[in-house]
Amino acid sequence: MELERLDDYRWEIKKTGAMKVPARIYSSNALIEAVKKEETFKQLVNVAQLPGIVGRAMAMPDIHWGYGFPIGGVAAFDIDNGVISPGGVGYDINCGVRLAVTGLEESEIRPRLERLATFMQHHIPSGVGSTGPLKLSEAGLKKVLKQGSPWAIAQGYGEARDAERTEDGGCMPDADPAAVSSRALERGRGQLGTLGSGNHFIEIGVVDEIYNPGAADAFGLRAGQVTLLIHTGSRGLGHQICDDFLAAMTKKAGQTGIKLPDRQLACMPVNSAQGRAYYRAMACAANFAWANRQILMHIAADAFMAALDISPRDLAMRLVYDVCHNIAKIETHTIEGQKQKVCVHRKGATRAFAPGHPALCELYRQVGQPILIPGDMGTASYVLVGTREAMEETFGSTCHGAGRVLSRKAAKKAARGRLLNRELEEKGIIVKASGKSTMAEEMPEAYKDVTEVVEVVHGCGISKKVAKLRPVAVIKG
């Protein structure tokens, strides 16, 4: 598996052995060294061996170890001859990011920032197994799975325009609750409106730099503006759906004739009965996640107003966009000069559609898709925009975040004896976490340099920088 450097940001493994396509990694000279030492290198080569894969198996600069597929992985499969794999989506289906802006300036919140962070933590249920404010019957939950964020909006959690500013309008139409197990339904029923744990967070930030004034203006971003970033997904429901279908597909692996280089890549033909069932169940989890983030934004707005004693008009919160990271979607792309329908897996990767794409909402269609890249809690997050290069090269995909460099166990070991809260306070960042272990696992050094990751995708043209957001308060699950 010889890695060939193509240019400053592209590295490729030529098609050899059982590989059906080459494997490409987008990375910098510094970031690639870590990849060479990890099993992620091998994971990407394994993906390139799956039936019906087209183009290349790809990894974004935030690549790190995942289940089956590397996190940061992108792969597209022919609808007729290809496969769909739960490992290519991940356990946290539609783990994603939502960005909202406010009418506030940093100077207006800084004197009451501690109070604001405390109110935010108290308003938003977080942590393992946390339950939310909605008590749904099974029938009610199935409506959420069918309708996504429009369901939450209809219940009073937001405005109609929010759905327009959400990827896919906040609803995948192929969702079928009949494909979801009773165990998954039970796990998800009490978790709508909760943040979860691990790397999920609420971040209050400030627009620190503008790189592309035209796109920033279209997105409603201006320097000094207070922002809200929400990062969470489909909670226990999505995890159980992944678990259910991985078990079922692994059990039937010997019956398909598909040779798997890794059992974690368990898959089924896209158009098989089980492949279609997984897609419909996955769409349910995606819709749950969009509804979840829609509700969390509404709760966060209430926390802002209560903590600062201001009105909705003073807050002037408005959704910029909501993107998902872990998903498989049926899309049409141009491959070798021909339009082809494919199943695109984005695991720890973000859709990056170019200006003019019909899937984009009318508001942003002439600019390109907003892309939201969260960093670690001590650095920065970024807003980017989709490009034609991404459509031509990566099936309209880019990175999704900083990407881990330390396991949670290694991070906790490295954090021993350190007062992480105090270190971050000295940088002007207040952090509220459910426990010391969460702080340690999510310490800034556990992640790659998000600025360098963003420079890679900007430099190679698969997305372009629009703005940088500086965190001032972070609530961790």
Cβ atoms within 10 Å of 164's Cβ, excluding its own? 15
Can you spell out the DSSP letters for 313-337?
HHH--EEEEEEESSEEEEEEEEETT
219 DSSP 8-state letter:
H
Residue reference for tokens 């970033």:
229
Q: 402 CB contacts (<8 Å, ≥6 apart)?
A: 62, 374, 375, 376, 379, 447, 448, 449, 450, 453
Q: 112 CB contacts (<8 Å, ≥6 apart)?
A: 307, 308
Q: Please, which residues bridge with residue 182 across strands?
A: none
Q: Residue 429's closest CA among 381, 469, 379?
A: 379
Residues 27/344/292/425 CA torsion (nearest 10 deg): 0
Is residue 385 within 8 A of residue 426, CB to CB? The reply is: no
Tokens of 297: 């934004």
Tokens of 216: 């920033």
Angle between helices 182-189 and 138-147 (to 10 degrees): 90
Task: State the pairing for strand pair 381-385/338-347.
Answer: unpaired
Side-chain-side CA neighbours of residue 340 (13 Å): 22
Q: 439 CB contacts (<8 Å, ≥6 apart)?
A: 415, 420, 421, 431, 433, 476
Catalytic positions are 400
* Residues 87, 266: Cα–Cα separation, whole Å: 7
Distance separating the N- and C-terminal Cα atoms of the chain: 39
Q: How far is CA 350 from CA 52, 131, 148, 327, 370, in A?
A: 22, 28, 19, 9, 10
- Residue 53 falls in which region: left (phi positive, over 0), alpha (psi -120 to 50) or beta: beta
